[in-house]
Structure 1
Amino acid sequence: MIEELIRRAAAEDDDAMEKLCETAAADPRRLVPHHQLLLDLDMWWPATLYRAADAGVVRRVIERIDDGQSTDDLNNLLLILAHTAHPLAESALRRWSTHPPAGADQLHVGALSYALEGGWTLDPTGDQRDLCGDTAYRLVLRDEPRRVGGPTCPWCAAPLWVAADLDTTEPAIGAALAHTRWSGRLVFETCHNCACYTTLYNQVTPGGGATWWAGNTRPSCLPPETAVPEDPPTQTSVPGPALASPYQSSAWDRGGSTLGGRPDWIQDAEHPDCPDCGQPMDYVGLIGGADLDDLGEGAYYLHLHQPCGFTAVNYQQS
């Protein structure tokens, strides 16, 4: 059945490609026996089809890049390697960061930056660090009484929105945040409006403290300060049922909000750098616009850097 879907997708059958992507999200290992066929058919996109690729497939992609005959496909081939997060892929990306392959002059970023698309990076010691977790839960949006007299955005004067109030003593939250090494209560408080224009940072404490970072920089594209403040969503998020795969978040569909797991980026991967140490921050969860509003679009992405005590919220839309 999967082989038939692959051949149909290679013939530009959109329904078949959608089913393959659903399989890659629900259980990437089901595609492992078929990766060689994907390569034979020059199906380099989407790279997420190769998440569970084995060493043989990774070597074949590396060899294709090294032989310099696929410069037009270099972007997609590097994405494939990033999504595998395989040690051989890591080694190749390191090598190409100092000795770029043919065609690299046409790329917008260096080879090693592609690791972020796969949800990992190299720490200051050079070791691979996962930015995402392998356990995910559905995030359920629950209506809460609107806060009166709470903190407001220093830019637009709108009441700040508590996008999530998490406590790692709850087993589900502790499992979803294990990769961040956070212990205690974690509050994501942000401006739902201004976060659509720039990444907003907070300084946080394990007791649930959340303070607007003084270094947040107001973008020039924000509406004028004389605009009427817009009320934030009335919902906050709480963990729901466990998901079968960490790849089942959706920035598009109702019910796609998740805690933990891997982000569904609408655009390129956008893991913010910690404003204190400059290291990429860990991904915590996604709140989809479809869950906030039946007509909503886009998604808010939640991030944390435990060593420095910073959270970040950014937003993407089509």
Structure 2
Amino acid sequence: MIEELIRRVAEDDEDAAEELTGIAGGEPQRLTPYHGLMFDLDVLWPPTLYRGAGDDVVGRVVERVDDGRTPDQLNHLLLVLAHSGHPLAEDALRRWEEQPPQGSDKLHVGALRYASQGGWTVAPDGSRRELCGGTAYQWLMREAPRAAGNPDCPWCGSPLWTAADIDTAEPAVGAALAHTGWSGRLVFRACIFCACSTTVYSEVTPAGAATWWAGNTGPDHLPAGAGPEEPPTLLPGTGPERPSPYQGSAWSQGGSTLGGHPDWIQDAEHVECPGCRQLMDYAGMVVGSDLDEYGEGAYYLHVHAPCGFAAMNYQQS
């Protein structure tokens, strides 16, 4: 079945690509024996299909970049390597950052910046740093009326929305956020309306404080008919562990997820910490259709424990 899907994808069958993408999200190990065939057939998109690719296939991708004969494929090849997360891929991206391969003049960023597309980066000390967690839990929405005294958005006047209120004292939360280094209560609070147009940061503490950051930059324009409006009165609670850290879905009801890897609707958009300019750690995703029957898009939550910042950004199709 998988081999047939791969051959259909090679012939630009979008339905087959969607089915393979679902397998890569829920059971990525099932695709490992077929990565060689994918590469033989030039199936390089979506690059998430190459999660967990082995030495042989990753080595072949690196060789193709090095030989420089397909510079038009360079963007896709670098994405494949980033999503593979393989040490050989990491070594190659580091090398190409200093010695750009053929075709790099057509890229918008250096080779090592591709790493974040696969959920990892290189820390200032040169070590590899995972931006995402290896454990994920479904988030189940429950009614939680707005607490008295919550502030309003300084841009549109709407009451600020508490997207999540979690505590690492809960074992599941601690497991999901282990990669972030955060310990204690963590509250994500922003304007649900203005966050659709710009990244919104908060200063957070392990005691559960979440304060609007004074350096937030307002959107160029507010959404049509903006505020003041009441945000949803729903708050996510930790549900069952997902079989795969990639299984959350930004497209479907029930897709909201604590931890794991984000399901980006567009390109990966890990945000920078305003304190140190390093990429923040990904913490979870709240899906629009879980907040409202007609909701769309997804809100992505990030934290940077060393500087005490949380952030929320948004994507939609």
Do the structures match in fold with TM over 0.5? yes
Q: Distance in 1 between matches of 2:184 and 2:146?
A: 25
Cα distance change of structure 1 residues 208 and 51 upon mapping to structure 2, 3 Å threshold: same
Instruction: Specify the SS of the correspondent of 2:240.
Output: strand
Counterparts of 1:1-318 in structure 2, within 5 Å, are 1-222=1-222, 228-318=227-317
CA distance in 2, matches of 1:137, 1:36: 31
What is the deviation of 1:297? 0.8
Distance in 2 between residues matched to 1:144 and 1:199, nearest whole Å: 24
In structure 2, C-alpha distance between the alignment counterparts of 1:255 and 1:219, rounded to whole Å: 29
2:166 alignment partner, SS class: strand
Instruction: Give the Cα separation in 2 of the matches to 1:315 and 1:227.
Output: 16
Instruction: For 2:149 and 2:186, locate their aligned partners in 1 and report how far apart those are by CA, in whole Å.
Output: 21
The structural deviation recorded for 1:223 is: 5.2
- Structure 1 residue 12 displacement after superposition: 2.6
The alpha-carbon deviation at position 251 of structure 1 amounts to 0.7
Tell me, in whole angstroms, the C-alpha distance in 1 between the residues paired with 2:183 and 2:121: 22
Please give the alpha-carbon distance, in whole angstroms, between the structure 1 residues aligned to 2:220 and 2:31: 46
- Quick one: distance in 1 between partners of 2:192 and 2:149? 17
Residues 206, 53 of structure 1: alpha-carbon distance in 2 compared, 3 angstrom cutoff: same
Task: Tell me the CA shift for residue 23 of structure 1.
Answer: 1.2
Mean Cα deviation higher: 255-264 or 64-73: 64-73
Q: CA RMSD in A?
A: 1.4
Distance (whole Å) between structure 2 residues aligned to residue 261 and residue 218 of structure 1: 29
Query: How far does residue 237 in structure 1 lie from its aligned partner after superposition?
Result: 1.0
Aligned sequence identity (%) = 64
CA distance in 2, matches of 1:220, 1:8: 43
- How many angstroms apart in 2 are the aligned matches of 1:281 and 1:62? 28
How far the C-alpha of 1:18 sits from its partner, in A, is 2.0
Tell me the amino acid that sits aligned with residue 13 of structure 1: D
State the alpha-carbon separation in 1 of the partners of residues 162 and 6 from structure 2. 43
Which deviations, in whole Å up to 9, do the C-alpha atoms of 1:19-75 show, x marking residues without a partner? 211111112111111111001101111101100101111110011011111111111
Query: Which SS does the other structure have where 1:252 is aligned?
Result: coil
Partner SS, residue 129 of structure 2: strand
Q: How many residues align?
A: 317
CA deviation after TM superposition for structure 1 residue 187, in Å = 0.5
Q: Which moved more, 1:97-106 or 1:115-124?
A: 97-106
TM-score, length-normalised on structure 2? 0.97
Distance 1:82 1:287 in 2: 25
Secondary structure of residue in 1 paired with 2:302: strand
Q: Distance in 1 between matches of 2:2 and 2:116?
A: 29
> Shift of the alpha carbon at 1:227?
5.3
Q: Which amino acid aligns with 1:315?
A: Y
Structure 2: runs of 5+ lacking an equivalent:
none
Work out whether residues 163 and 189 of structure 2, in 8 Å CA contact, stay in contact via their aligned partners in 1: yes
Counterpart of 2:183 in 1: which secondary structure?
Answer: coil
- Unaligned 5+ residue runs, structure 1? none
Over 3 Å counting, the alpha-carbon distance change for 1:227 and 1:242 in structure 2 is: closer
Greater mean alpha carbon deviation, residues 142-151 or residues 306-315: 142-151
